[in-house]
Structure 1
Amino acid sequence: MRISTLLLSSAALLAGATAGLAADLPSKKAAPVEYVRVCSQFGAGFFYIPGSDTCLKVSGRVRADYYYNQPLVRADNTTTTRARGYLALDSYTATDMGPVRATTRVYVTKDSLAGASTTLDWAYIQFAGVTAGRIATSFFEFAPFGGVSFLGGGANGRGSDYGAINTLAYTYAANGFSATLAMEDGTERRTGLNGLGSASLGYAGHALPDVVGRLEYGGSWGVAALTAAVHQTRYALASDNTDYGFAIQGGLKINLPMLAAGDALFLQAAYADGASSYTGWASGAAKNGAGAALFTASDYEKNAAGNWVSVKTWSLVGGVEHYWVPTISTALFAGYGHYDGADASDWSMFSVGANVKWTPVKNLLLAAETTYQRAVDTPVAVAAGTQKDIWNARLRVQRDF
């Protein structure tokens, strides 16, 4: 009995000591696992950034282009190539005042006989109708036409997409209708002064941004848009004062589902007075050889009397796209533009083109396109190394992810 009592007492003491020792040891608990959660409220591909309430989408594109360029002299490259890689980040954060969006895309390009270059495609913030930053396409442009021609068909080789531009804009949208008022960087819209085209020779410092307005209405039938812009030109000499040009454009996309799903007709017309880039005349006319142009576009030109005269330009562009099957489409497009400068410096241009696009699997594009462009009603003789018409063609392989 005495031995049993002693054993029980020893066991109790040992158990208590062990419990006390365990209480003194540090406790290690497994850290909670932070799983990536899908964020579906802003579209496919978004996920919550771990530890935040921001939804992020990572996407990209790889593109390979193979060009045919009509040569004029033996030194010209008849064929050239391009490789380009894109990386895009798109984010949304839900707030009590609506979502805040921040998005950016950059791409790196390697052309034939050129070093690799990096370009900011866009980088902007959107919140409560405000857009601030660099957008992919000016609010003046009628973007749907860009879906027809990836070479940029239209008068003077122009599609509807001017390209990326810095802006500060407000958009009101409701029931398919939207109205936008924007301030855009006017320095990127300069085309030249009397052929000078240099800030040191022709332009004074930039003072006011371009003011751009846009009205758009869309539905199942298509999209209609009316846009306008005011563009300031300040001359280097104070005695030349300052001029203000303007531009107006109308665009229409009509869906044609009675022919095939995805079919559409695109039409647009633009007129500018002292703002030539808004009608596609920013880069001269047909050019080849060593890159020489038939002429240099301007916003204003000096006449024989030495006075600045606004250049008046207009362009008409149209195209139609037809889907033979859901994965194969063909587009036909054409454009005509006129340039009315000082004295007798009037030019007209027309272009036509066609393409075929095949999507064998989702997000993989194989395409071919050719365009023909010709200058007509030219007031001067064609310089050596240039000609009034030119052919271009391109093969494209593109993968989006």
Structure 2
Amino acid sequence: MKKSFLTLVSSTFLLAAGIVSAQAADAIVAAPPEAPANGVQICDAFGTGYFYIPGSETCMKIGGRIAVTAGYDSFLDAGYSSVEARMDVDTKSDSELGTIGTKIRLSSQGNLDAYTLGGVPNREEGVELAYITVGPAFAGYKESLINKDILYGDSLDLETYLGSLNTTTIGFLADNLGGGFYAGLAVENRDRDNGLETAVYRDGNAPDIAGRFGIAGQSWGGADFSALYSTETDDYLLKATADLKAFDKADFRLTAGYGDTDNAGDYYILAAAGKYAFTDKVSAFTGVSYLHGDAIEDVWTANLGASYALATNFDVKGEAYYTDWKSDDTVGTKLTFVRSW
């Protein structure tokens, strides 16, 4: 098992290293920082918000958000309120290998999707993301490579059913293959959502393999295909997602997924969702999904919601949802104020 795991990691690392080497010559070159006359020196080579760390050639960006939510869930027959907070610290710098980056996210790690299925999410503050990037290669604790999107809004994505998919991983995601195409491959720890705890690979915890391929930035939108395979149990998940632009103000999302597990047999999910921007500040969305499997009764989930920009980077979102998960008709509402920076 150890030899198998090392082979998987080595292959992924060598493939990523080859891509990094091929792209190093085209790396973005940040101009050396000039001595600031007053305060921080802006670094615009890597996008908006970056500044030079004083005394170095490394650029940093600090961001985050606070979300305050109140809602009602009929399965619990109770109202609830919740506060989610997160802070992101990103760094980037040039090197002979290309652009080297890091990301750290401190977060309350709350997932209010759990209310959609009649449960209460755990609330533990800690490190949600911590990883290194070298060109398209990455290593550390981060989101799974697979596409999690299902509906718009906060009612349903893959993590609603599977829990957090964040994991210790190594892999690559190359997004400049030409014509908008991108592709990625990663080795992921199947014992997920353990933060920065040491990942031990042995019988009972062989790694997962994740892959993703797609196209983005087209006039019609984009589409991708992602897959997750467990080398421990032979479980797998295949998922196709299309984000389509019907016209300037309307977007649609179509999702189809199929999987197989030892303990629950095979299952599939189908979903369709749409959103419309009435103005630059007001938008609305709706969607419906259907889940069926050998060990899962037919499950329908639907939502309807809207978002309004009260000010720059300050939004209010309202959403109503329905599901018959656990054989009970469940409805809920939530109102969320989000301040991001």
Scaled by the length of structure 2, the TM-score of the pair is 0.76
Deviations 1:235-293 (A, max 9, x none): xxxxxxxx4122211110012334x2xx210011110111xxxxxxxxxxxxxxxxxxx
Once residues 116 and 246 of structure 1 are traced to their aligned partners in structure 2, the CA distance between those partners, rounded to angstroms, is: 29
Once residues 70 and 219 of structure 1 are traced to their aligned partners in structure 2, the CA distance between those partners, rounded to angstroms, is: 40
One-letter amino acid of the counterpart of residue 227, structure 1: S
Report the 3-state secondary structure (helix = DSSP H, G, I; strand = E; otherwise coil) of the residue aligned with 2:84.
Answer: strand
Q: Does 1:230 align with 2:229?
A: yes
One-letter amino acid of the counterpart of residue 219, structure 1: G
Check 1:361–1:163 CA distance in 2 against 1; reply closer, same or farther (3 A cut): farther
Once residues 249 and 162 of structure 1 are traced to their aligned partners in structure 2, the CA distance between those partners, rounded to angstroms, is: 17
Residue 107 (structure 1) aligns with: 107
Check 1:324–1:177 CA distance in 2 against 1; reply closer, same or farther (3 A cut): same
Once residues 207 and 151 of structure 1 are traced to their aligned partners in structure 2, the CA distance between those partners, rounded to angstroms, is: 30
Equivalent pairs: percent with the same residue? Answer: 21
Deviations 1:200-253 (A, max 9, x none): xxxx943421011111111232111011221144xxxxxxxxx41222111100
**4+ long deviations beyond 2 Å:** 32-35, 108-111, 113-117, 151-154, 156-159, 161-166, 204-207
Once residues 102 and 182 of structure 1 are traced to their aligned partners in structure 2, the CA distance between those partners, rounded to angstroms, is: 18
Check 1:114–1:256 CA distance in 2 against 1; reply closer, same or farther (3 A cut): closer
Once residues 62 and 130 of structure 1 are traced to their aligned partners in structure 2, the CA distance between those partners, rounded to angstroms, is: 30
Deviation at 1:151, TM superposition (A): 2.5
Residue 139 (structure 2) aligns with: 132
Q: Which runs of 5+ in 1 are unaligned?
A: 1-31, 190-203, 234-242, 275-298, 302-310, 376-385
The one of 243, 250, 253 equivalent to 1:266 is 253
Deviation at 1:348, TM superposition (A): 1.5
Residue 216 (structure 1) aligns with: 214
Deviation at 1:114, TM superposition (A): 10
Residue 243 (structure 2) aligns with: 253
Deviations 1:321-347 (A, max 9, x none): 001111101101110011213xxxx52
Q: Is the 8 A contact 1:217 1:224 kept in 2?
A: yes
Once residues 65 and 186 of structure 2 are traced to their aligned partners in structure 1, the CA distance between those partners, rounded to angstroms, is: 29
Q: Which runs of 5+ in 2 are unaligned?
A: 1-35, 113-119, 194-201
Residue 63 (structure 2) aligns with: 59
One-letter amino acid of the counterpart of residue 174, structure 2: Y
Deviations 1:19-66 (A, max 9, x none): xxxxxxxxxxxxx97842100111111100000000001112111010
One-letter amino acid of the counterpart of residue 137, structure 2: V
Rg (Cα) greater in structure: 1
1:163-178 → structure 2 map (5 Å cutoff): 163-173=165-175, 174-175=177-178, 176-178=180-182
One-letter amino acid of the counterpart of residue 141, structure 1: N
Report the 3-state secondary structure (helix = DSSP H, G, I; strand = E; otherwise coil) of the residue aligned with 2:125.
Answer: strand
Deviations 1:298-341 (A, max 9, x none): x426xxxxxxxxx1011011100001111101101110011213
Residue 21 (structure 2) aligns with: none
Matched residue count: 287
Once residues 318 and 240 of structure 2 are traced to their aligned partners in structure 1, the CA distance between those partners, rounded to angstroms, is: 29
Once residues 152 and 115 of structure 1 are traced to their aligned partners in structure 2, the CA distance between those partners, rounded to angstroms, is: 17
Once residues 219 and 319 of structure 1 are traced to their aligned partners in structure 2, the CA distance between those partners, rounded to angstroms, is: 19
One-letter amino acid of the counterpart of residue 292, structure 2: H
Scaled by the length of structure 1, the TM-score of the pair is 0.65
Residue 271 (structure 2) aligns with: 317
One-letter amino acid of the counterpart of residue 307, structure 2: K
Residue 351 (structure 1) aligns with: 301
Report the 3-state secondary structure (helix = DSSP H, G, I; strand = E; otherwise coil) of the residue aligned with 2:55.
Answer: coil
Deviations 1:373-394 (A, max 9, x none): 115xxxxxxxxxx752111211
Residue 314 (structure 2) aligns with: 364
1:2-401 → structure 2 map (5 Å cutoff): 35-71=39-75, 78-108=78-108, 117-135=124-142, 137-143=143-149, 145=150, 148-152=152-156, 163-173=165-175, 174-175=177-178, 176-188=180-192, 205-220=203-218, 221-233=220-232, 243-258=233-248, 260=249, 263-274=250-261, 299-300=262-263, 311-341=265-295, 346-375=296-325, 388-401=328-341
Check 1:395–1:149 CA distance in 2 against 1; reply closer, same or farther (3 A cut): same
One-letter amino acid of the counterpart of residue 371, structure 1: Y
Once residues 246 and 164 of structure 2 are traced to their aligned partners in structure 1, the CA distance between those partners, rounded to angstroms, is: 26
Deviation at 1:166, TM superposition (A): 2.3
Once residues 121 and 251 of structure 1 are traced to their aligned partners in structure 2, the CA distance between those partners, rounded to angstroms, is: 25
Deviations 1:73-95 (A, max 9, x none): xxx56111101221110100111
Check 1:325–1:392 CA distance in 2 against 1; reply closer, same or farther (3 A cut): same
Once residues 364 and 42 of structure 1 are traced to their aligned partners in structure 2, the CA distance between those partners, rounded to angstroms, is: 24
One-letter amino acid of the counterpart of residue 88, structure 2: A
Check 1:108–1:226 CA distance in 2 against 1; reply closer, same or farther (3 A cut): closer
